Amino acid sequence: MEHVFVNGTNSEAPTFLLLHGTGGNEQDLIGLGREIDPEAALLGVRGSEVENGMPRFFRRLGMGIFDLDNLSERTEELATFIDEAAKQYGFDRDNVILIGYSNGANIAANIFFERGNIVKGAILHHPMVPRDDVEVPDLAGLHVWIGAGENDQMTPPEQSTALKYYLEQQGASVELFWHQHGHQLTMEEVQAAKAWYNQTFK
């Protein structure tokens, strides 16, 4: 997968896997990752699908209607990519945290739905429930933070509440943060994610 890797400055700090929204690329969330933890290693990755010139992590059939076979294939591709990148760059495979926005948050959520607890945690900005046709595996020990907008037209508020429920049902610990805005990523939200990260992992 197309990607960029930036070494961390503290070997104890995690590697953030950065997953952009529709139309983004591997560089998009580098600044966000730096803001969350200036010492972390950053692995920005570009989704392999392209929709009208816009990179995405998996195909969709319409707004919010996902191509579930493609979602499975791309989720496997991403999980394999994490393993290979850990070998290539020498980062600790057991100390990886996903940070995703929108489409990137959705494939991150689907990693938990289909692959289980294969990373330490995740910061999911404006995610949806990726699918409801699988039995979510055991997620004990997983830490997830969800940021959501009360006026988000793209990912309706009940999606965030439902995702929290699905993850918690399988033993993950989940914090859901609300702001009054829409689908955009706000500084208020980023600071809330950072506070949770510091409290949970430091």
Among positions 133-172, residues that touch ligand MLT (CB under 6 A) are: 154
Catalytic annotation present for 138? no
- Smallest separation (angstroms) from ligand MLT to the CB of 170: 22
Long-range pairs for 22-31: beta carbons < 8 A, 24 or more residues apart: 22/51, 22/54, 22/55, 22/56, 22/102, 22/103, 23/54, 23/55, 23/56, 24/55, 24/101, 24/104, 25/55, 26/2, 28/101, 29/99, 29/101, 29/104, 30/4, 30/6
- Tell me how many residues contact ligand MLT (CB under 6 A): 9
Catalytic annotation present for 152? yes
Among residues 8, 21, 47, 147, the one that binds ligand MLT under rule CB under 6 A: 21
- Residue 127 neighbours by CB under 8 Å, 6+ apart: 100, 102, 105, 106, 108, 109, 146, 155, 159, 160, 163
Binding mask 23-52 vs ligand MLT (x if CB under 6 A, - otherwise)?
Answer: ------------------------------
Catalytic annotation present for 126? no
Q: Does 102 bind ligand MLT (CB under 6 A)?
A: yes
Among residues 15, 17, 20, 22, the one that binds ligand MLT under rule CB under 6 A: 22
How many residues are listed for the chain in this entry? 202
One of 28, 125, 143, 152 is an active-site residue; which one? Answer: 152
Query: Where along the sequence are the contacts to ligand MLT (CB under 6 A)?
Result: 21-22, 60, 63-64, 102-103, 106, 154
